[in-house]
Amino acid sequence: MAADKRTTSNASIMPKDFSISLDNYIRGGTDRFLLNPPKVSPRKQSMQGFEPQYVDIIDYIVRITHRIWEEGGIGYIYDTYRHNSRVHDDVGLQYGRDKIVADTITTINAFPDIRLYADDIIWAGNDKVGFNTSHRTVILGHNTGPSRFGPPTGKKVHVWCIANCVAVENEIYEEWVLYNNSALIKQLGFNLFDVARQFAAQRAEQAEVSGLHDPRSGEPERLPGQGKPPVYPAKTSTGFDVEDFIRRAYHEVWNWRLLNKLHDYYIPNVRVHGATDREFYGIGAYKSYILSVMAMFPDLAFHIDDFYWMGNDEDGYRTSMRWSIVGTHRGPGIYGQPTGKQIYMWGINQHTIKDGLIQEEWTLFNEFALIQQLVS
């Protein structure tokens, strides 16, 4: 596998500071930014094609989320999602906004008192090429209605999600969203593996059984035959290059298995927030978790599919990285004894970087779907 190459075509579309950020936006309390939105003329940034009520992209993301989910304006999805929008989630590719409307109704019916608290929004782009947003949200609610996981339990849930969206002219046309579903299922009181088996069986029944379904898979292309992983190209830019820093870090740690390099990229007391409510404090704990993943999938290959950021050297950086892994389940671990099955997992990471090192990391991946692949 060749080392991941940059997908960012123009670094000039990355915000150079945090003047337009969630931290600045929420100053003044909820009434100001939700119930009595700021009135700024002219806008803080160019937003051609967006409704005039939105002063910047942060304002747009926060308030459409509030209006749809908490105010119950579900039909506002027709104004804020393109008719042929694509949503990638735990289930797979969801096509068309009518599916988004239906899924939103199902979730709110399961958690009628749902609350979505914006934790951070990392953004890049502009109204010409489109806005990229990585929206980290904390979700609270009580399960008083049936959900896709089972009958109502009455339990309170506290989960988080990350939704990476691309929007232009007031419409989101593509979204990658990960809910912490494995944590949600456990908080509801269900057995995660039992639910995964149930879902896997349902999907198997719905799948067409024919000669067109070919279950073969090739090996993960991390190594060129008997060769070693490629060396990441030498840095050509001067000063701190946040994209080179992140791409180099993940290639060296995950593809080269150089776990000693973690000290080159993370502060010693780094905080890492993971799927299924995993919390790691310090490089040692995080290293142990990475080792456990590599032990279960010893041939895994890591790819960065998208990356953008905001910030500068003095104030630090906040980044969003969408990634994918392919590998074969050949070792024991938290998912049980090895099955020999090849798996695909994808996730979204957000980082806070200061003084050239990662201070804090949030990472979600499709763990519930991963388990389904192993138990099917």
| pLDDT over 90 at 92, yes or no | no
On whether residue 105 sits in a domain, the answer given is yes
160 & 38 share domain: yes
pLDDT digits (tens, 9 = 90+) for 230-285: 888 888 888 999 999 999 999 999 999 999 999 999 999 999 999 999 999 999 99
| pLDDT over 80 at 5, yes or no | no
Cα atoms in the Cβ-side hemisphere of radius 13 Å centred on 218: 7
Backbone φ, ψ for residue 302 (5° rounding): -105, 130
Backbone φ, ψ for residue 44 (5° rounding): -70, -25
105 & 23 share domain: yes
30 & 134 share domain: yes
What's the pLDDT band for 30 if we cut at 50, 70, 90?
low
Work out whether strand 156-168 and strand 342-354 pair parallel, antiparallel, or are unpaired: unpaired
| pLDDT over 60 at 210, yes or no | no
On whether residue 195 sits in a domain, the answer given is no
pLDDT score at 4: 54
pLDDT score at 1: 41
On whether residue 204 sits in a domain, the answer given is no
| pLDDT over 90 at 373, yes or no | yes
pLDDT score at 209: 55
Residues above pLDDT 90, as percent of the chain: 79
Q: Which residue has the tokens 């946040």?
A: 242
Tokens of 89: 């989630």
Tokens of 260: 């000693």
pLDDT score at 91: 84
| pLDDT over 80 at 2, yes or no | no
| pLDDT over 80 at 307, yes or no | yes
> Do you find a cis peptide bond into 338, omega within 30 degrees of 0?
no
Work out whether strand 81-88 and strand 93-95 pair parallel, antiparallel, or are unpaired: antiparallel
| pLDDT over 90 at 67, yes or no | yes
pLDDT score at 184: 97
Distances (CA, A) of 153 to 25, 47, 191, 332: 36, 43, 13, 33
What's the pLDDT band for 148 if we cut at 50, 70, 90?
very high
Determine whether 72 is exposed, middle or buried from the number of CB atoms within 10 Å of its CB (0-12, 13-18, 19+). Answer: middle
Tokens of 82: 């393109």
pTM: 0.92
CATH number at residue 125: 3.10.450.50
Q: Which helix (H) or strand (E) holds 318?
A: strand 316-328
CA distance 369 to 223: 26
Q: Which residue has the tokens 């691309």?
A: 166
78 & 178 share domain: yes
What's the pLDDT band for 68 if we cut at 50, 70, 90?
very high
pLDDT score at 90: 87
175 & 278 share domain: no
252 & 163 share domain: no
pLDDT score at 369: 95
On whether residue 82 sits in a domain, the answer given is yes
On whether residue 226 sits in a domain, the answer given is no
Determine whether 289 is exposed, middle or buried from the number of CB atoms within 10 Å of its CB (0-12, 13-18, 19+). Answer: middle
156 & 249 share domain: no
Backbone φ, ψ for residue 329 (5° rounding): -80, 90
178 & 247 share domain: no
Of 190, 217, 233, the residue at which a domain comes to its end is 190
- In whole numbers, what is the pLDDT of the chain averaged over residues? 91
On whether residue 203 sits in a domain, the answer given is no
pLDDT score at 231: 87
Q: Which helix (H) or strand (E) holds 80?
A: helix 77-80
Determine contact, residues 173/132, Cβ cutoff 8 Å: no
Q: Which helix (H) or strand (E) holds 87?
A: strand 81-88
Read off the pLDDT of each residue in 52-64 and give the average, rounded to a whole number: 94
Domain range for 63 is: 11-190
119 & 18 share domain: yes
273 & 149 share domain: no
pLDDT score at 328: 95
SS3 state at 264: helix
247 & 367 share domain: yes
| pLDDT over 60 at 6, yes or no | no
CA distance 19 to 311: 9
Read off the pLDDT of each residue in 175-201 and give the average, rounded to a whole number: 95
pLDDT score at 225: 79
Report the side by side order of strands in the sheet with 130-142. 93-95, 81-88, 171-179, 156-168, 130-142, 115-126
Q: Which of 89-98, 215-224, 302-311 has the highest mean pLDDT?
A: 302-311
21 & 115 share domain: yes
On whether residue 201 sits in a domain, the answer given is no
Q: Which long-range contacts (CB under 8 A, 24 or more apart) does 58-62 make?
A: 58/20, 58/21, 58/22, 58/25, 58/121, 58/123, 59/25, 59/33, 60/131, 60/167, 60/170, 61/118, 61/121, 61/123, 61/133, 61/135, 61/165, 62/22, 62/25, 62/33, 62/34, 62/118, 62/121
pLDDT score at 7: 47
pLDDT digits (tens, 9 = 90+) for 214-233: 666 778 888 877 888 888 88
| pLDDT over 80 at 212, yes or no | no
Number of domains in the chain: 2
What's the pLDDT band for 9 if we cut at 50, 70, 90?
very low
Residues above pLDDT 70, as percent of the chain: 91
Amino acid at 356: G
pLDDT digits (tens, 9 = 90+) for 340-354: 999 999 999 999 999
On whether residue 233 sits in a domain, the answer given is no
